[in-house]
Every structure is written in C-alpha cells, then in structure tokens.
Amino acid sequence: MIAAITSCTNTSNPSVMLGAGLLAKKAVERGLSVKPWVKTSLAPGSKVVTQYLNEAGLTPYLEALRFHLVGYGCTTCIGNSGPLPEPIVKAIKDGGLAVSAVLSGNRNFTGRINPHVRLSYLASPPLVVAYALAGTMDIDLETEPLGYGPDGDPVFLRDVWPSNEEIRAAMARGIKPEQFKHEYARAFDGDANWQSITVSPGDLFAWDAESTYVRNPPYFENMPATPAPIVDVKAARCLALFGDGITTDHISPAGDIAEEGPAAQFLLAKGVQKPDFNSYGARRGNHEVMMRGTFANIRIKNALLPGEEGYYTKHQPSGERLTIFDACMRYQKEKTPLVVLAGAEYGTGSSRDWAAKGSLLLGVRAVVAQSFERIHRSNLVGMGVLPLQFDENVSWTSLGIKGDETFDIEGLDSVTPGKKVTVKVSGGKTFTALCRIDTPKELQYYKNGGILQYVLRKMAASK
C-alpha cells in the first residue's frame, strides 16, 4: 500500500538515491509503471538530494513513477505518510486484510507506519521503487518479473538494476560541492511560512494555556526545594500485563493520531478537526496529547483483556473496560499508584523519551519486567519511575499473577543500586526483584523524583 523513499539516514547516501533514480529511468524506458494502489513518496533528509537528482537528470523519471517530493526530513518513518484512500481503508477493514509497506527508513515497528498497514519492510531506495512497480512484497525478485512492457515481455529486477559504473557516472554528473555549501549556508532560514511566524519578544517562552501544540509541562508543579524521602509503594494496581518485546513504539505516542482514541477526543474538544490532527511527533510539546497517546498503540496486547489489541485495560477492582488513559485518570482520582508487569526486552527500539514521560504522567510508579532495553531503563529512572527486574526464570506468568491483585513494593526507603526489593501481592504471593537503578548518579535522580528535578535543584543551589 505504501512505498516511501524516506529517512535522513538512507537518503544521505548519494549512491543509493541516484541508484533509485537510475532504476526509475530504466523502468520508465521499459514501459513499467507503479501499481495504482501503491501510495508513493520521496522525502529526503536534505535539499541537496533534490539538487543532485535534478543535475543528474533523474527527477523526471522518479516523478513519472509518482515518487514526487513531499518534503524533507521525518515522514513515513514516524507515520507521516498521510492517510490511505478511503476505499482502500474500507477494503482492508471489511476483508481483515494484512497489507504491507516498504520504506527506505530505519524504523518499522508495528502500527507505526500507518494504522491500517500491519506489515512494514525496510529496504534500500532502489528496492522501494522496485517493490512499488511490483505492487506486492509477495514476490521472488530473482525469478518473477516486476511487470510487463508494452510488448508484453516480462521485465525483471535484473533488467532495470543500475550497474556500479552507471551509479558512479551519475554521481560525477550530479553531485557538486557548491550544492552542499549553498544549502547548508541557509539551512536555518526556512521558507516564507517559517519566516512569517510572529514571535513574542523576550528571552523566555510565553506559555499559552490553550495551545494544542506546546504547553507548560507539569513536572515541577508543587516541587519542594528538597526532595521528600522515598517511601514504599502501597496497594498499587496493575495497569497492564504485557508479554515479551514491548517496544517504545508500543509505549510512546508515535505516528498517526487515531480518530477514536483519547488524544483525538481531546483535540476535538479543543476545536481541532481530524484533517488538522497532525501527528504525535508534531504535538510532542503538549503533554495533554502525549499522555493520552501513551500505551495507545493500536497493536499493543494487554493480557488483562485477552484476545484484544489496542489501548484498553481493565480497571480494578471494578473490572470495567476503559481506555488506558481513562483508567489512569480514575486511578489518580482514587489516589491509587500503578505498576506495569512485562516480559523480556521491555522498551526495545528507539530511545523515545515520551515512553518514560508518559508512563510517569499516567501514574506508573514501577515497571517490573524480565529484562529491559538499556536506554529505556535509564529513561525510566530519569523520570522517577522504578525499573524492577524479575529473578531469573521468574515471570508474572510463572507466579500466576492475574492482574486483579494489589502490589506492595517494600524496601525503597533504603534502596541502593542493584539491591533486591520485596514485592508482596495480595492473595499471599511474594517475590523479590532486582532494583535496576544501576549507578549512584541514577540513584540521585530517583531520589529527586527524576533528572529534571535533580538538575533544577542543582541550578537553584548554585545561585
């Protein structure tokens, strides 16, 4: 459904970008065209790419295959490919179809590229063009043709794949040092839209309480000059029971804002209509949007609601099915702390800060997992959320935890890096878990409620 030449990483390599242009040229000359159901786009990370594609004479061939320039920087990688045509969406929903995307990006986590695309594959820019011509990922590119020319003869990938010599010739023809000098010298100028933005005078940002893009975050509200002592977590409820491989894209808001979700309802209440929702990435400066998008991945699976996908949980003790955000708001009114229980490799993927920020703002006090991705573990500590690791060969499944229990985490008043703490589960279960505050500096962050509070207190003390 989607074929995108995108991402600042792949598109910074002139040989593969010019290779894509050369493949497009050969395909057009053989009479091939992109399949009509494929949504195509070209979004390089630099304006220099446009210049050397033009100089090499390859832009017209990419455009002939509908790889038109749509912008520069993050697009399909972060879910900014835009919507699929409504008839295609309807066919996907009605038929329960598992459709695919191919992109020359660096991220393809489930639900990230497009909410209606289940399968996403990473490929080089020339292969993105090739798969767009084929219109399917279900193809053996060595033995099956990409398509057929006007004469009915099959055209294979090998027939249009550019040689190294052709790529080198295109680089010599298209790339010039002055292109880089010219673009980088005015990189911060922006276009007319950027230059026309009215900016209030002064050194400090003027917070707008009604802004749907940038809001004053609540991290320092009611913060005392000195941190309060760490206390044990008492009578916490389980927000979610997750399996293995929960990524930061499952946790952190990314990509499209689902029309039915809590973030969309917030924006609609503010008078923002669906065409203007933009993306979570564009609204990352508004904590009200982002916390509503935390754990809001449409493919996430929470064992509190077996057999379901999406951003729902079961409120305890009522047993009511709610969105994760609505459940968290109810728990906060009830002054109930929260824990998340997970399997192995919790937080894999991009080091997305909102995976930790959102967890904190929703009221999560601790995450107990079999193992953590390195950076996300550190980010949790940096936001004052306690990462705890099950003992080896122990999991919430082996302990028979159902998620309707309450949890007491004891020993936090004397916590040190690498210390074992005790978790008491209502119903008589007790287990120990390794505190994954790994360094003395991280312990200082945690004692301050997070790295932001730590830094602010250090700044205040130095004056």
The full DSSP string for 12-72 is G-HHHHHHHHHHHHHHHHTT----TT-EEEEE-SSHHHHHHHHHTT-HHHHHHTT--B--S
Distance separating alpha carbons of residues 308 and 80, to the nearest angstrom? 26
Q: Are residues 239 and 388 in the same domain?
A: yes
pTM of the predicted structure, to 2 decimals: 0.84
> Is residue 320 assigned to a domain?
yes
Average pLDDT over residues 264-271: 95
* Residue pointed to by tokens 């010298």: 185
The mean-pLDDT minimum among 125-129, 240-244, 246-250, 437-441 falls in 246-250
Q: Is residue 342 a contact partner of residue 367, using CB atoms and an 8 Å limit?
A: yes
Going by C-alpha positions, the residue among 285, 274, 425 that lies closest to residue 341 is 425
> Is residue 323 assigned to a domain?
yes
Domain CATH for 287: 3.20.19.10
Please check the confidence at residue 407 and state whether its pLDDT lies above 90: yes
Please check the confidence at residue 289 and state whether its pLDDT lies above 90: yes
Please check the confidence at residue 112 and state whether its pLDDT lies above 80: no
Average pLDDT over residues 99-104: 96
Average pLDDT over residues 163-188: 94
> Is residue 220 assigned to a domain?
no
Domain that holds residue 86: 2-185
> Is residue 114 assigned to a domain?
yes
Phi and psi based region of residue 299 (left: phi greater than 0; alpha: psi -120 to 50; beta: remaining): alpha
> Is residue 192 assigned to a domain?
no
Q: Are residues 163 and 262 in the same domain?
A: no
3-state secondary structure 348-416: ECCCCHHHHHHHHHCCEEEEEECCECHHHHHHHHHCCCEEEEECCCCCCCCCCCCCCCEEEEECHHHCC
Distances (CA, A) of 353 to 70, 251, 349, 393, 439: 27, 10, 12, 29, 20
Q: Are residues 350 and 282 in the same domain?
A: yes
Average pLDDT over residues 319-344: 97
pLDDT-derived band of residue 318, with 50, 70 and 90 as boundaries? Answer: very high
Q: Count CB neighbours of 398 within 10 A.
A: 11
Burial class (CB in 10 A: 0-12, 13-18, 19+), 390: buried
Distance separating alpha carbons of residues 94 and 426, to the nearest angstrom? 44
Average pLDDT over residues 6-21: 88
SS3 422: strand
> Is residue 414 assigned to a domain?
yes
Compare 258 and 459 and report the one with higher pLDDT: 459
pLDDT-derived band of residue 122, with 50, 70 and 90 as boundaries? Answer: very high
Compare 410 and 278 and report the one with higher pLDDT: 410
Q: Are residues 60 and 144 in the same domain?
A: yes
Q: Are residues 119 and 60 in the same domain?
A: yes
Q: Are residues 245 and 303 in the same domain?
A: yes
Q: Are residues 318 and 170 in the same domain?
A: no
Average pLDDT over residues 414-423: 94
Q: Domains in the chain: how many in total?
A: 2
Q: What is the dihedral of CA 141, 142, 146, 147, to 10 degrees?
A: -150
Q: Are residues 179 and 306 in the same domain?
A: no
Share above pLDDT 70 across residues of the chain, in percent, rounded to a whole number: 100
Write down the pLDDT at residue 263: 94
Measured in degrees and rounded to the nearest 5, phi and psi for residue 409 equal -110, 115
Which of the listed residues 125, 158, 185 is the one where a domain comes to its end? Answer: 185
Q: Are residues 244 and 124 in the same domain?
A: no
Among positive and negative, which fits the CA dihedral 454, 456, 252, 306?
positive
Which of the listed residues 163, 185, 207 is the one where a domain comes to its end? Answer: 185
Going by C-alpha positions, the residue among 335, 373, 375, 338 that lies closest to residue 353 is 375
What pLDDT digit, counting tens, does each position of 68-91 carry? 999 888 888 877 888 899 999 999
Distance separating alpha carbons of residues 154 and 132, to the nearest angstrom? 16
Distance separating alpha carbons of residues 408 and 429, to the nearest angstrom? 11
> Is residue 218 assigned to a domain?
no
Please check the confidence at residue 56 and state whether its pLDDT lies above 70: yes
Look at strands 2-6 and 39-43 and give their pairing. parallel
Distance separating alpha carbons of residues 19 and 26, to the nearest angstrom? 11
Please check the confidence at residue 397 and state whether its pLDDT lies above 90: yes
Domain CATH for 161: 3.30.499.10
Please check the confidence at residue 211 and state whether its pLDDT lies above 80: yes
Residue 145 neighbours by CB under 8 Å, 6+ apart: 154, 155, 156
Q: Are residues 18 and 106 in the same domain?
A: yes
Q: Are residues 126 and 248 in the same domain?
A: no
pLDDT-derived band of residue 5, with 50, 70 and 90 as boundaries? Answer: very high
Please check the confidence at residue 301 and state whether its pLDDT lies above 70: yes
> Is residue 226 assigned to a domain?
no
Q: Are residues 254 and 113 in the same domain?
A: no
Compare 331 and 76 and report the one with higher pLDDT: 331
Average pLDDT over residues 211-238: 94
pLDDT-derived band of residue 351, with 50, 70 and 90 as boundaries? Answer: low
Which helix (H) or strand (E) is 181 found in, with range?
A: helix 177-185
Which of the listed residues 185, 219, 252 is the one where a domain comes to its end? Answer: 185
Measured in degrees and rounded to the nearest 5, phi and psi for residue 300 equal -70, 145
